[in-house]
Structure 1
Amino acid sequence: MPHHDEIDTAPPATVPGGATSHTPDVLDLPAPRLARVILTVALISYLSVTALNLVGTNLPTPLLLASLGCLILIFALQLRHSGAAVRRAPVRHRALTLGTQALLTYLPIVVFHSQWGAMAGFLAGSLLLLLPGRWAWPAYGFVGLTMLVPPALDNLSIQETVYLAQSTLLTGLVVYGLTRMAELVQALHDTRSQLAGLAVARERLRFARDLHDLLGYSLSAITLKSELIRRLIPLHPRRAMEEVSEVLTISRQSLADVRTVSSGLRSMSLEQEMRSAESVLEAADIEVRMEIRLGTLGQEVDSVLAAVLREAVTNVLRHSRAGTCVLTAVQEGGRVRLSVFNDGVDRSYRDESPHSGRGLGNLQARLQSTHGTLTVTRGPGGTFELTAETLEQPPRRLANPDDADLGAQDPAA
């Protein structure tokens, strides 16, 4: 059963039109902390502009200190509203903080008029962040319209009036956009970590499946041939030596298979596996009938069906008292069908081993990667048939699917 090394790599993702989608370089992505720093610096910059305007108006010291205190409170509220946790807070809590920010925005306008107008941009941004969409945008626009009033109180020109309303709306968009950017960057980094963990879990699953497929078959074959050798030694020592050579060949191949699995290199031949299965089944005193009508198979299909055959033969050896086994591999009409039929199935038998595996479930998942199906059928008189059918050349490789489970001959199903 020779194996050919083949690196099993997933193809690059494709997008409509045939273009290849590339994952952005990790170094090009800003860190979540940097995104939060950018947001904080922007808020401080807007706050500083308002503070400088107030300082330049020659306000009495008590009034100036009160205004600076209001600015600090608004800044603290805005930082809270720009955090992800506040959107998970109860509605009553959000209404309280938004109401407080609205009071701190509009009450000082009575005293400072247009000099305080920049703070309305913070309120507009908070409304976009915390209110549902159907309320957020009308409320945002309403805040912009209210900023037409302070310039009128100061008898400012139309240009200055429009400028204040426009700058309020622009500030709200900047606050909203930078906040959402910081959240999306954090979500991107979290998702990347989850995908890395998922890739590790999928690789572990692949490794476990391959080991199950390889070692379950090989160890069953070694056990059967060892029992045969023990019976042959007293009567047919020469035949026993031949069987010992076969056991050595199987064990060496198993070691090589384990190494290829650990390296991610794996390829098998269905036709070669059928010849090997015939030898193993005959060693167990099972009458074997085979039909092989195969052309050229895709390498992935060839390996998957060979793994199906190994698991099916392992089940025949471990979980039945078969006297006859029929192996069929037929390729026609662009599809390949593998069938393993055996008798001697004990319906009451169930392997109680805690590590008996879930081979048929693994094979169902493997076949899904080649657009194939796996069916099992129990017949009268303790007969059992496993049939795997797939395309001879799958159109594309799918991601590893989740495990499936089949309640059939496999005792772990």
Structure 2
Amino acid sequence: MRTWWRKRCAAREERGPSGISLLPWLLLGVGALAHLTSGEAARPWLGLLGLVTFNSLYIAIVFRAFAPSLRDSRTTRVLLGAAVLVSFALAIGYGREWLLLFPLLGLALGAVVRGGRQLRRTAVPLVAAVGAVTVWRDGWDSLGIVYGTFISVMVTAAILALNETVRELRETREELARAAVEQERLRFSRDLHDLLGHTLSVIVVKSEAARRLAPRDLDAALGQITDIESVGRQALTEIREAVTGYREGSLGTELDRARDALASAGVEPVVRRSGPPLEPAEEALLGWVVREAATNVVRHARATRCEIAVESGPERVRLTVTDNGRGPSPAASGSGLRGLSERLAAAGGTLAAAAAPDGGFRLAAELPAGRTVLAPSGAQEPPALGFRS
């Protein structure tokens, strides 16, 4: 029972106040009703009709005020205007006890017009008119009615506007939480693609090499199998790092792996580096590019030679991977290279892929030197490029 009550209270707190919360204030009209039943009021039937009309208008207004689609509608404004006319007519006709309808009118106005310039344009004339009628009908002793009307308008508007802001902030927080989850999923899927695509390609190439070598050179075949074991263990470590989100690749390590994978696939690797050492963030991003490019060459290029060049200068860092294979496939738009393009674009860099001048395929990545940060996972996806997958 206690758990059910807590859930009910939490749900009510999330929904916020409703029109029901303003209904108890109708008790302010009890004085007017007592005045009618005392026999002192002239034409009591007319006063009763006016009181019923005002209460009906008040109830309709406050319930519409808590429905965003109805609050700013023309019908709500018409009902509010009618409530103003009825309350002033009753206050002028009967005076004293009926002046307490003005704070009720202030509550209705504050619920509908919750802030800004429009609240000032409506509240100030209303309070001024209430002051004039109150002083005329009951003298200066009833200025508390004027103050009560002003407070009713302003406090109601402030509380409901604050509640609406809190609700919007809660919705924004929930949306940000959902976006963070989506970004983490994107990061994880992208890292797994980049890690497993390269690793499995290397394992396949070395397995084929071991199968070819086994009949004539058992020791060389065992060496390939040992490499497969090493690659598998390294892949397990990298996947654990990817899951925790702390993996930062090393460009030197990726170049060594790319050289070994290319050589195992029968592709002559040529690796050149020039310029000063790179920042860790630059190393991490370019390490992903080398991994994806080498995987692409091993799996699809049918190349015999692959050149990897890293050139770092004072303003830009450039990495190019060129092979002499069959060239890019215009029908493909590889998800791995699209992911790399996102990473580089978010860090201020670029990624370009096209046919090499002498045939084959060239992938070129550039980054601003010394200003690179690791690209966020939720970067906006650029237009698809004609990459091999």
What TM-score, normalized by structure 1, do the two folds share? 0.78
CA shift digits 1:195-218 (9 cap, x unpaired): 111111111111001001100111
| SS of residue matched to 1:118 | helix
CA shift digits 1:312-348 (9 cap, x unpaired): 1111222322222110112221542221111223455
1:25 maps to none
Does residue 122 in structure 1 map to residue 107 in structure 2?
A: yes
- TM-superposed deviation, 1:298: 3.1
- TM-superposed deviation, 1:220: 0.9
**Alignment root-mean-square deviation, CA:** 3.3
Q: 1 CA distance for matches of 2:199 and 2:349?
A: 25
Does residue 367 in structure 1 map to residue 349 in structure 2?
A: no
Q: 2 CA distance for matches of 1:279 and 1:398?
A: 28
Correspondent of 2:75 among 93, 96, 103:
93
What letter corresponds to residue 62 of structure 2 in structure 1?
A: L
Task: Tell whether the 8 Å contact from 1:117 to 1:150 is kept in structure 2 after alignment.
Answer: no
Change (3 A) 1:87 1:306: farther
Q: 1 CA distance for matches of 2:167 and 2:114?
A: 17
Does residue 141 in structure 1 map to residue 124 in structure 2?
A: yes
Q: 1 CA distance for matches of 2:235 and 2:373?
A: 30
What letter corresponds to residue 140 of structure 1 in structure 2?
A: A
2:65 maps to 82
Task: Tell whether the 8 Å contact from 1:36 to 1:182 is kept in structure 2 after alignment.
Answer: no
1:243-282 to 2 correspondences below 5 Å: 243-282=224-263
Q: 1 CA distance for matches of 2:348 and 2:366?
A: 9
Q: 2 CA distance for matches of 1:105 and 1:31?
A: 37
Q: 1 CA distance for matches of 2:14 and 2:49?
A: 31
1:60 maps to 38
| SS of residue matched to 2:113 | helix
Change (3 A) 1:395 1:46: farther
Q: 1 CA distance for matches of 2:372 and 2:261?
A: 34
1:7 maps to none
What TM-score, normalized by structure 2, do the two folds share? 0.82
Q: 2 CA distance for matches of 1:396 and 1:288?
A: 29
Change (3 A) 1:92 1:121: closer
Q: Runs of 5+ in structure 1 lacking a partner?
A: 1-29
1:205 maps to 186
Percent identity reads: 28
Q: 2 CA distance for matches of 1:125 and 1:136?
A: 8
Q: 1 CA distance for matches of 2:372 and 2:300?
A: 36
CA shift digits 1:42-72 (9 cap, x unpaired): 7457544x24654775853877976775565
Task: Tell whether the 8 Å contact from 1:360 to 1:406 is kept in structure 2 after alignment.
Answer: no
Deviates most, 340-349 or 236-245: 340-349
What letter corresponds to residue 106 of structure 1 in structure 2?
A: F
Task: Tell whether the 8 Å contact from 1:288 to 1:326 is kept in structure 2 after alignment.
Answer: yes
| SS of residue matched to 2:366 | strand
1:108 maps to 90
Structure with higher Rg: it is 2
Q: Runs of 5+ in structure 2 lacking a partner?
A: 1-8
Change (3 A) 1:345 1:55: same
**Count of residues in Structure 1 that have an aligned counterpart in Structure 2:** 372
Does residue 220 in structure 1 map to residue 201 in structure 2?
A: yes
Change (3 A) 1:382 1:104: farther
